[in-house]
Structure 1
Amino acid sequence: MWKTLETLPADQSVSLQEVLAQIPWNADGLIPAIAQQYDTKEVLMLAWMNAEALQETLAKGRVCYWSRSRQQLWRKGESSGQIQELREARFDCDGDTLLLQVDQTGPACHTGRRDCFYNLVQGDRVVVDQPVLIDPGT
């Protein structure tokens, strides 16, 4: 499937169901999903999806992940209100990573920061370069 997509000209398509059937899930039945703010292109986070989370996300337009720590579906913002509305979903060239263009409400990170990539490597130090926007306990 992925080789077929590599050679298709622009504006050609294949069935979504065919593509979903060919996802190369990892040994745990997961695929990494990068969430990116649709309008600013800011990379917000990386999480994991299983088949159920991906199907729910595509069907409902609200992003759902698989929580590896809790071993259950994680509907982004379900308890915090910091939801991600799906604007666009893309597979990479070999189908083993998703790029989700989302509209993020509030912070994406559970720490209360805008995104999860706030630990900046500077020489021999790691600097926290983003403030907490909301109390993560709320």
Structure 2
Amino acid sequence: MSNIPGDLKYAATHEWVREEGDNIVTVGISDFAQEQLGDIVFIELPEVGTSVEAGDAVAVVESVKAASDIYSPVTGEIIEVNPALEDAPESVNEDSYDYGWFFKIRQSEGGDLEELMDAESYQDQCEE
């Protein structure tokens, strides 16, 4: 079974969110998602400074199986992207929760975090 850390929040579209403080969150894709995609060969990241709404497609992951959109789980502004993914997109396959993160967002007021699932709810979704 996939690794689903209990300290993260999850979107139905398989993105995870880690709260960093000061309304900043780090976003990546879950272990379940990277397993479904297979070997990741390219990642198109959003531009720093881009304003996003929860549910917006903001990045693209290409694997040997398919290309998939990555959605913003919260509303806010992209403040940082993971530059290591440009040269080593396979990092997501190796560790999707640590050095395989995608981008950081400074959340707008309201944040949307309460709309996300906890680990138990996400696990239930993955088992369906």
TM-score of the two chains, using structure 1 as the length reference: 0.32
Q: Larger C-alpha radius of gyration, 1 or 2?
A: 1
Higher relative contact order (CA 8 A, sep 6+): 2
